[in-house]
Structure 1
Amino acid sequence: MRLADPPPGPDLAAAGATGAIAARLERLPMSAYQRKVFAVIASAWLVDQIDVALLTFLLGSIVVAFGLTPTEAGQLAAMTFAGQLVGNILAGTASDRFGRKAVFQVTMVVWGLASLAAAGAWSLPVLMACRFLIGVGVGGEAPVAQAMVSEIVPAQVRGKYIAIMEGFWAVGYVLSGAISFFILPWLGWRWAFVVVGLLAVVVLLVRRAMPESPRWLAERGRHAEAEAVMAGMEAEVVRATGRPLPPVAPAVALSVATSAAPSAAAPVARANPVATLFSPAYRVRTLMAFGMWFFALIGFFGLNSWIAVLLKERGFSIVGSVGFVTLITVGGIPGFATAAWLLERIGRKPTTALFLVCAAGAAYLYGNAADQTWLFVSGFVMQFFMFGMWSCLYAYTPELYPTRARATGAGFASAFGRIGAILGPMIVPVLVQNYGPATAFQVGAGGFLIAAALVLTLGVETRGKVLEDVSH
């Protein structure tokens, strides 16, 4: 069903067309078709998180193989995050300019080939270069995936589905640990990179079926293409549900068109997605998002990049520490599921703050556990809240910005997080050497608490709102 003609004038006509596309998307019921598209995006997310997590489980073996000092090990861990920082910025801005689908494909090729190359690394510099490229590909995929899911899934379940997608990271961590646990004793760390690189090839072939975002096409003025993609999606939903589509809500289209209408006061911000992030309308949101990601990732990666090494110092073997980390990471699976439910039940702000604060408490308890039983219990709870926290970050961030700058905003916020991720693994070994292993978990707890404070004081609530309304 089509709406009435948009208002006259080129800019207002574009706003009206954008509003029509958004309204048609929002009236679509969730069906097997949207879930299939979501599964394609989430499957890629799963495999690339397996690759990111590998170093957590392989670092002990790599330290032995190359005879690395603690400083060199920290630098190797930091290279992945440095690559993610670059990928976040490049792919986020490229996606807003060139489209979601093409950039999404390129990111998979980059990190898949880099993973295969890492298996043949003959020196530390070569391995560091490979991990940097893996980071570029994986980091580039993140803002594009967030934008795609948020732009295709209706507002009433948008947060839940992005949180579920991010929850595949917890599954990826567990699978990464399982791959490492079974491959390390028999084939060594190089073959773990081979396995993940081959998985990337399979997912790349599946991913080719993903459509372009009609919201992005409409925003770019490519209305014929947006109409074609939108009509195809509507036909697929009708086929999947076996029922006619509900009518388009004119109020939604009008509200979106009003939000999307250009402002004479901010022409540069509309033309430049980076300028949009720092324009008066979005400046506070950008400060909150950048700070939230920075401190949350200092906490997370400051802990997780060194957790297997710290366990080794407590008497675990390399394989034993990998098995222990894999088991406690299982706690992240119910964690992201709970976060997905709460994001739609009580809202983005309270859920994000709750998981950050609880992650801080669990990290402190883990760092001060007296025996292996409490080490396991507190570690399981810690992973429950830390992986739930990730679901909150990824669900919340893309909702803060308009379509023209959504991937750019998500990419830049994530890039600030990668700065924290780089600093965390480099700061922690120094503190551990001077003050003991528990210091790593105190740093993590502090980072989570600061991020929670930023969300509570500067954040806006986005639950259940159409993207164009909440991002206006």
Structure 2
Amino acid sequence: MQMDVNIGARLDRLPLSGFHWRLLGLIAAGMYFDSFDIYIAGTVLAAMVHSGESTLSLNATFVSVTFIGMMTGAWLSGLLGDRFGRRFCYQFNLGIYGFASIAAALAPSIYWLIFFRLVMGVGMGAEIVVGYGTLSEFIPADWRGRFGTILNLIINTSLFLSTFLGWLIVPHYGWRWMFAIAGCGALVVWFLRKSMPESPRWLASRGRADEARQIVERIETACGSTASRTSSHSANATESSTREFYSTETTEAGRLGALFSRRLLTRTITAITVLVALFTVNYAFVSWIPTFLVKQGHSVSNSLGITALMFAGGPVGSLIAFALAEHLGRKWGIVLFSLVCVGFGIAYPFAQSAVAITALGFAITCCIYVLSSFSVATYVPELFPTELRLRGSGLANTAGRAVSIVVPYAVASAFMRFGIAGVLTLIVGTLLVQALIVGVLGAETKQRSLEAIAADAGVTSVEAQEGSATAAIE
């Protein structure tokens, strides 16, 4: 069935233009402040303990409710984003996060701050699901992987900015200004995002063909491309059949339980695996490395210096992912860099000199950020059809966040019993499981339309039929 809601094919045929870069900027800005707020926690909590406003126990509660909120937000964003649309969800969650950050800046006590942090966490957990998912539905297939890695790179630079601003602001003006900066920035982005269109792919999946076609036509005009438009006769002839199809088929296909159906179960398992593995490895290594170094006999100052050099591998990893995203691909990229990271992880416990420790730590960090760029930023949203994209991504992120709550305890136990070798064994085992599952079950998605990827899973929807037809024509 040919449709003017040939939406996916028309979006994929567009030349890269200022529209796509502006969209990337607006999505990245919201996610940047989201990430910024995650990273300011260490600076803020240290200042509050120093001033007597908090204790180590209350600080732990603050960190715990952050993860609980993010886990909840990831889950809710999947339900709301697929039900009410991408535009509603990314504005709703950014508004929650922005206003909660302002409230946190005015919190009268650590107890109120913990409450507002829980609310902020809901917005932060939702943003990562909606941001990556929305971007994937607009960017042409040939560039989708690279845009995901650029977004990932932009977001991760917030670690440096939050640390630098904390160093400048907190000692002189107090911790409240950090939340004020994050909240005000988020609300400015919320206002700017009002001009962002709804995802045409999502509109088509809901049977709203008129709206989808109108938005695509506006995007085509903005990109200077009109060649992909079909005749109005063809458009009108297919709209009624599109609406009829979606009213009978997609309602069933869009239910949460469809993620565990025979056609999508392997996709769901793959998505959960890569995000559980990513969060496990990230929190097991990146978050704990300063502690490991101190325990290995390095001074605090020396350990922080080595850590800074190791973490320089983050941006390098994102750039490597950018270069390989559309050549190596996401599936085999995840498999390859999981195995490469395993090799560096096995070698790490045997490093004795500061240079060797730093070099291997740099390499491991680099691999982790390559995996982050490939998995959470690009691969997971690609695995699911439009009507289930945010539900699938939300479920995988929820599982990853849930695991991240218990990872610190597993890491601490492994370190106390077996030292750094025990922690690296946990990391290596996780990466090997990921490489096996993705290699066996994963689908390759590089330079393929989202509709064709959905068709491979046997998705019974108009978008899948369109993807198959498009592939046959080409």
TM bin, normalised by shorter chain, reads 0.7 to 0.9
> Residue 300 of structure 1: which of 282, 305, 316 is its match?
282
Looking at structure 2, the residues matched to 317 and 110 of structure 1 have their Cα atoms a distance apart, in angstroms, of: 38
Task: Work out whether 1:464 is the aligned partner of 2:452.
Answer: no
Q: How does 1:266-415 map to 2 (within 5 A)?
A: 269-272=252-255, 274-311=256-293, 316-317=299-300, 325-363=307-345, 365=347, 369-393=351-375, 394-415=377-398
Q: Contact conserved, 2:100 with 2:119, CA < 8 A, in 1?
A: yes
Q: How does 1:210-249 map to 2 (within 5 A)?
A: 210-238=196-224, 244-247=225-228
Output the TM-score relative to the length of structure 1: 0.83
Please tell me the residue identity of whatever aligns with 2:398.
A
Q: Contact conserved, 2:207 with 2:242, CA < 8 A, in 1?
A: no
Please tell me the residue identity of whatever aligns with 1:471.
A
Q: How does 1:53-64 map to 2 (within 5 A)?
A: 53-55=39-41, 61=47
Q: Contact conserved, 1:74 with 1:429, CA < 8 A, in 2?
A: no
Q: Which runs of 5+ in 2 are unaligned?
A: 236-240, 456-474
Q: Residue 74 of structure 1: CA displacement?
A: 5.2
> Residue 68 of structure 1: which of 56, 59, 66 is its match?
56
Number of aligned pairs?
Answer: 444
Task: Give the direction of change, closer, same or farther, for the CA distance of 1:364–1:115 in structure 2 (3 Å limit).
Answer: farther
Q: Residue 140 of structure 1: CA displacement?
A: 0.5
1:11 match: none
Output the TM-score relative to the length of structure 2: 0.83
Q: Deviations over 1:59-100 (max 9, x none)?
A: 65556553315xx65554333222221111101111111011
* CA RMSD after TM alignment: 3.3
Task: Give the direction of change, closer, same or farther, for the CA distance of 1:263–1:200 in structure 2 (3 Å limit).
Answer: closer
Task: Work out whether 1:450 is the aligned partner of 2:436.
Answer: no
1:429 match: 412
Q: How does 1:4-43 map to 2 (within 5 A)?
A: 16-18=3-5, 20-43=6-29
Please tell me the residue identity of whatever aligns with 2:210.
A
2:88 match: 102
2:188 match: 202
Q: Residue 17 of structure 1: CA displacement?
A: 4.6
Deviates more, 1:186-195 or 1:167-176: 186-195
1:160 match: 146
Deviates more, 1:352-361 or 1:431-440: 431-440
Q: Which runs of 5+ in 1 are unaligned?
A: 1-5, 8-15, 239-243
Deviates more, 1:389-398 or 1:41-50: 41-50
Please tell me the residue identity of whatever aligns with 1:298.
T
Q: Contact conserved, 1:366 with 1:382, CA < 8 A, in 2?
A: no
Task: Give the direction of change, closer, same or farther, for the CA distance of 1:316–1:125 in structure 2 (3 Å limit).
Answer: farther
Q: Contact conserved, 1:167 with 1:388, CA < 8 A, in 2?
A: no
Q: Contact conserved, 2:338 with 2:434, CA < 8 A, in 1?
A: yes
Task: Give the direction of change, closer, same or farther, for the CA distance of 1:171–1:39 in structure 2 (3 Å limit).
Answer: same
Looking at structure 2, the residues matched to 31 and 45 of structure 1 have their Cα atoms a distance apart, in angstroms, of: 22
Looking at structure 2, the residues matched to 247 and 175 of structure 1 have their Cα atoms a distance apart, in angstroms, of: 42
Task: Give the direction of change, closer, same or farther, for the CA distance of 1:427–1:122 in structure 2 (3 Å limit).
Answer: farther
Please tell me the residue identity of whatever aligns with 2:85.
G
Q: Contact conserved, 1:75 with 1:426, CA < 8 A, in 2?
A: no
Looking at structure 1, the residues matched to 243 and 425 of structure 2 have their Cα atoms a distance apart, in angstroms, of: 45
Please tell me the residue identity of whatever aligns with 1:458.
L
Looking at structure 1, the residues matched to 353 and 372 of structure 2 have their Cα atoms a distance apart, in angstroms, of: 28
Q: Contact conserved, 1:352 with 1:389, CA < 8 A, in 2?
A: yes
Q: Residue 417 of structure 1: CA displacement?
A: 0.8
Please tell me the residue identity of whatever aligns with 2:182.
V
Q: Deviations over 1:170-219 (max 9, x none)?
A: 21222223223434544454443333223223322322221111111111
Please tell me the residue identity of whatever aligns with 1:67.
T
Q: Deviations over 1:341-382 (max 9, x none)?
A: 212002111111222233344455556653443343233222
Looking at structure 2, the residues matched to 434 and 67 of structure 1 have their Cα atoms a distance apart, in angstroms, of: 28
Q: Contact conserved, 2:208 with 2:243, CA < 8 A, in 1?
A: no
Deviates more, 1:198-207 or 1:347-356: 198-207
Looking at structure 2, the residues matched to 233 and 445 of structure 1 have their Cα atoms a distance apart, in angstroms, of: 45
Please tell me the residue identity of whatever aligns with 1:444.
I
Looking at structure 2, the residues matched to 362 and 260 of structure 1 have their Cα atoms a distance apart, in angstroms, of: 53
Looking at structure 1, the residues matched to 49 and 425 of structure 2 have their Cα atoms a distance apart, in angstroms, of: 25
- Secondary structure in structure 1 of the residue aligned to 2:157: helix
> Residue 88 of structure 1: which of 68, 74, 78 is its match?
74
Looking at structure 2, the residues matched to 118 and 322 of structure 1 have their Cα atoms a distance apart, in angstroms, of: 29
1:176 match: 162
